[in-house]
Amino acid sequence: MSYQVIDVLGDVGLRAEGKSCEECFINAGLGLYSLITDLNLIEQKETKEFELSAETLEDLLVSFLNELIFIFDTSGFIGNLIEVDIENNIIKVKIHGDVFDPKKHERRLLVKAATYHNLVVKQENNHWIAEIIFDI
C-alpha cells in the first residue's frame, strides 16, 4: 500500500501513489478506509460493486472516495481489497470486505466527505500521485 496521512488543520488528508492511475485510486481508497479502522481486522466476506463516470480524473477520484464513504455510512460496509478499472473517465469498482462491527473493529475517524480543497491528481513520468483532503 502506498499512501500516507497528510496533517491538515481541522481535517485530514492523504497522499496516494501508484504505478498506474488505477493503483493510485486503489491506494487512495485503502488510505481512506485506514482512516476509519484497522484494515488488518477486516475479513473479506462480501463484495460490493459500483460504476461511476466523471468529466475529469479529479472529479472521478472525489466521486469514487465519496461513494466509498456513502456505502460505509449507509450499510457499514468497509473493505481491505479494492479492484479498480478506469477507462474513458469511467471507473468500475469491486470492494471486498465486511460490515463494520464495533466489537471487533477499531473506530478511528468519522470521515464525512472527500473535498476538492488542494486536490491533486497527476502523473509524473510513469508514476501517479493523488492528494486529497477529507472533512472529518
SS3 6: strand
Domain 3-135 class in CATH: alpha beta
Domains in the chain: boundaries? 3-135
Q: What is the pTM of this model?
A: 0.96
Please give the chain's pLDDT, 136 residues, in tens.
599 999 888 899 999 999 999 999 999 999 999 999 999 999 999 999 999 999 999 999 999 999 999 999 999 999 999 999 999 999 999 999 999 999 999 999 999 999 999 999 999 998 999 999 999 9
Cell digits for 94?
469491486
